[in-house]
Structure 1
Amino acid sequence: MATVPVLRLSAEVEQLRTIFAVTHPTVPPPASRRTWLGLVVLTLPVILVSMDFSVLYLAMPTIARALHPSATQELWILDVYGFLIAGLLITMGNLGDRIGRRAILLTGAGVFGLASVTAAFAPSAGLLIAARALMGVGGATLMPASLSLIANMFPRDAERARAIGIWTAGFAGGAALGPVIGGLLLHHFWWGVVFLINVPVLALLFVAAPFVLPEFRVRAAHPFDLLGVALSLLGLLPLVYAVKDAAAEGISVRSTLLAGFGAVLLAAFLMQQRRARAPLVNLRLFASATFSACIAIALVGMMAQGGMAYLTNVFLQSVQRYDVLSAALAGLPMAVTIAAFSIGASRIAARIGVRRALAYSLLLAAAGNLGILSLDVTSDLWIFLVLTAVTGIGYGIQFALVTDVVIGSVPPEHSGAASGISETSFELGTAMGLALLGSLATAVFRSRGDGRFADSLGETLDRAGDLGPAGEQLALAAREAFVTGMHAAAAVGGVALILLSAVVAYVMRDRV
């Protein structure tokens, strides 16, 4: 007979607990020193992945003399790494959610390290291409796994935002340091050393990760979406290749057919994702205006940044005639401002709000792009340094906040998939910038040549060099034409950033 009051009392206690949990939500504890040390460990492979995007730009002439690759093989040596990363990011992010994020991080690090050693001692161009492809597979696991682990390690919003800022700074810093470190190493050693520098860093990751990184996985009720993996790869890879091919060779039947094939399969992928029981991409995320706006910022921001980084590098070396290492060092002010403001982005957002921070950062990046219009053949270097530093402030803020908003908008168990979407947007944006802005600059350059110019500024300058004194006028005209093409690309990128700033300010008006 006494059980009824006891049961009633238990129900009342449970009800009180529920009410207390709603009115007094549990505040997660602050991150420990071990957690922050884990962030340092997570940032190491990200720096390597971003460095390996740019380090070969300086090493290619040396590699060409050593391995004698064909023109097509040279293109694949440079691009196959990025192709595989762009195509596999979403897949690897989802796979890490299922088999364990720390497990896939270490697996990817092992693949990346093995491929780096293979690349360093490759005796032929074919083997180097294969090693670079394998590095792309490993890199595609490292980026989403490291970013999604941050969501688990830093449950507090402010700490997670700061951690993502540090992660973004590491990625940006690696991309900027790649040419500088590559130039210094190539000055003293053979070309393979640019790959071997990965090995000690990855060894440190293997030693430290089991002690400072947690494991996290999702118990999935449905089998892995293999059809979605196939459709995403068959859609993304031809599309990315078509964009890069159009940037290098101009729009052709081949690039058009590949782009069309990729677009059709991506459309099929999206239709399949709506019906899949465990989709790679949760399309419902795009119902959020904030989420969609952040993906647009990643695409357009990286399009402007990637396109102008390529064009200004050519400007410094071929127009203003700085050597390779000097041109690489000229990129450091932008790298510093990107890194600094990536780390400080969360504090800026806390003061003025995420919406204003994103909108204003886009305007800063636009101002830097439009400032390129003031450069000419004889401009002082300090003007370039100031403009790119201002641009770096804008990119540092927006890239860190975009990543934080995307990761913070989904439950921790889906952060791997969300980070894959975010990083894929960054990769596609870079490819679009090289293709669209690079092609625009090339078209303007050729239009001003009246048949006198070759397909590129470098080839035209080589031709002018063979003409003796008569070639000096041709070389000057070619340099001025390239600057005009760079101006056109900078104007398009700047206007696109301004328009996107207005869109972000409108669609995120409900967000502080």
Structure 2
Amino acid sequence: MLVIMDMSVLHLALPALSEDLSPSGSQLLWITDVYGFVIAGALITMGTLGDRVGRRRILLIGAAAFGLASVLAAHAPTAETLIAARALLGLAGAALGPSTLALIGALFQDPGQRSLAITVWMTSFLLGGALGPLAGGVLLEFFWWGSVFLLAVPVMVFLLAVGPLVLPEVRDPRAGRLDTTSAALSLAAVLLTVLGLKELASGGFGATPALSLAAGAALGLVFVRRQLRLTSPLLDLRLFADRGFSVSLGTLTLTVVFMLGGQFLIGQYLQMVAGLDPLESAVWSLPMVAGGAVAMFAAQALAPRVGTAHVFGAGLTVAAAGFAVLTRLNGDSGIGPAVTGATMLFIGLMPVSSLGIGMIVAAAPPERAGSAAAVGETTQELGGALGVAVLGSALNALYRERMSGSPQDGVPAADRAPVADNLPAALETAAALPAAALPAAPGARLLETARDAFADGLALIALGSSLALLALAVTATLLLRRTQSPTPNRPPPYAGKRPGSGPSVTRPPCVSSDTAAGRPPGGTPPLPGAGSKALACRP
């Protein structure tokens, strides 16, 4: 929850921060974006590192680093210091996410318990994104801008104090050394890809996003080729041979594209067309968060009864209906259709995300759970960036097309190009025109035209997204009916054999650093609750 919250908690603090630190435009962008960039780039490395040196160890190191970086960010004296602190926060956040998810996979061997635990994990993920702006707004009413970073400190201190007592150490005892070249390649490839997608979303297609995306793709290809040659790769590409893993990963990626891309466009509509401020927009996002959380728990209960494939299909169909509601948007629609459509979107897609993550973790061998979790989280980061880039760029193109043919009587010649290019420029120009509040005034006419153009473009994108989700619902249902459930009854990780693996092999995926000496392999991962000195394995 805190890792995701830190992505949005800063937004309302930007005016006060800018007044205090006086960052340049480029520095302000880096302050906002570097956190998410580093998280996306470091997830695979941190997930695999946890498999090798211990997931509890990486979790606690990440918690300590996250707390220290939060204090540094809160008291940063310069913009450069704040950028560095945000980068450190991203690196620490990348250590926390896969470790928590991989530990869940080890702690809960019962399929139903594991599915429920992952649903709780996903609910925390969802709440973090929604509560960030709200928490930031409350803190800024009473404290300085740096206070928004201090939310994490007491929780990280608690984790450092209690974690060693109740969490088992889980690692792959047969893992080789970490390949630093592969780690650097994965970091650079993901960073360049996310950077290119964000540039594409903000400025449209041009030389910078094209070069960034091309370089990211080239480095990604080099990374893949290197993994195929290594005896102990950073990312085990054999995971993708499991149909449950690959189908759920692909569905999860497309789901996040439409969910976060749609959320981004709806947020813009609420603020720039409906006229809400950022805090009001955050408040109106609570229905979609509540609906998504309830739907996740309902899907977790329904999946064992009706099958994961049918839950996926139903969820994607509900999301398609949510986009269908958004096709009714116009400049005068208000917040009703937007909030209703967004809530349906989250009700449909959050269960798909939760079950998809569960399938990804369950399909991987226990000793590779951290790596699998990191792959799932990385695809969510890339899918979110891709959704914002593609849907945002499409909306900008539709807006420009509509505005290019609209009369702009009374708008100064120097302002006409920016007005026709993006809605924020049109709103700023309309507010500066004389008598903007009068219905027949140039400012009022420009405001109405620009908002209608934006809403009409959003409605067209919603129509295309609705049809795409219906097609995805059919495809995912057919493919997943031939795969395992999200919580397969696989054999205990120390014994037995995986499907198609040949003879049974001894595979000790979890080792407690406190009890490994003299303990024969056997049973399932150690249970928490009695302290690490007293960890035991169930037969």
Q: Which moved more, 1:291-300 or 1:47-56?
A: 291-300
Counterpart of 1:466 in structure 2 is 432
1:12 aligned residue: none
Cα-to-partner distance string for 1:428-461 (whole Å, 9 max, x where unaligned): 0010011111111111111211255253211211
Deviations 1:225-279 (A, max 9, x none): 2222122112111111111111112111011011111101101111111111111
Cross-structure match for 2:41? 87
* Partner secondary structure for residue 448 of structure 1: helix
Contact 1:308 1:489 in 2 (8 A): no
Cα separation, partners in 2 of 1:455 and 1:64, compared to 1, 3 Å:
farther
Matched, 1:494 2:466: yes
Supply the distance in 1 between the matched residues of 2:346 and 2:212 (Cα, whole angstroms): 34
Please, what is the CA RMSD of the aligned residues? 1.5
TM-score by length of 2: 0.84
CA shift digits 1:131-184 (9 cap, x unpaired):
100000000000000000001110111100000000000000111111111112
Counterpart for residue 284 of structure 1? 238
Bigger proportion of residues as helix: 1
User: Could you tell me which residue of structure 1 aligns to residue 422 of structure 2?
Assistant: 456
Structure 1 residue 383: deviation in Å? 3.0
Identity %: 41
Q: Secondary structure of the residue that 1:214 maps to in structure 2?
A: coil
- 1:204-353 mapped onto 2 (5 Å cutoff): 204-353=158-307
Q: Give the letter aligned to residue 335 of structure 1.
A: V
Instruction: Give structure 1 stretches of 5+ with no counterpart.
Output: 1-46
Deviations 1:171-227 (A, max 9, x none): 001111111111122222211111011111111211221222111111135322222
Q: 2:83 aligns with which of 129, 141, 144?
A: 129
C-alpha distance in 2 between matches for 1:52 and 1:455: 31
CA contact (8 A) 2:47 2:374 kept: yes
List gaps (5 residues or longer) in structure 2. Answer: 405-415, 436-441, 486-539
The separation in 1 between residues aligned to 2:242 and 2:474, in whole angstroms, is: 17
- Asked if 1 retains the 8 angstrom alpha-carbon contact of 2:75 and 2:146, the reply is yes
User: 1:33: which partner in 2?
Assistant: none
**Shift in CA distance, 57/276, structure 1 to aligned 2, threshold 3 Å:** same
Which residue of the partner structure matches residue 375 of structure 1? 329
What is the distance in 1 between the residues matched to 2:184 and 2:52? 18
> 2:115 corresponds to which residue?
161
Distance, in Å, in 2 between the alignment partners of 1:254 and 1:458 is 23
Distance 1:64 1:505, change over 3 A: same
Q: Conserved in 2, the CA contact under 8 Å of 1:97 and 1:416?
A: yes
Displacement of 1:484 after TM fit? 1.8
Worse-matched range after superposition: 272-281 or 171-180: 272-281
| CA offsets 1:477-498 (integer angstroms, 9 cap, x no match) | 1111111222233233333322
Which AA in structure 2 matches 1:457? L
Please give the alpha-carbon distance, in whole angstroms, between the structure 2 residues aligned to 1:120 and 1:362. Answer: 41
Question: How far does the alpha carbon of each residue in 1:26-69 deviate from its partner, in whole angstroms, 9 at most, with x for none?
Answer: xxxxxxxxxxxxxxxxxxxxx00010111122222222222221
Query: Equivalent residue for 1:418?
Result: 372
The reply on whether 1:142 has 2:108 as its aligned counterpart is no
1:186-205 matches, cutoff 5 A:
186-205=140-159
Q: What is the deviation of 1:377?
A: 2.1
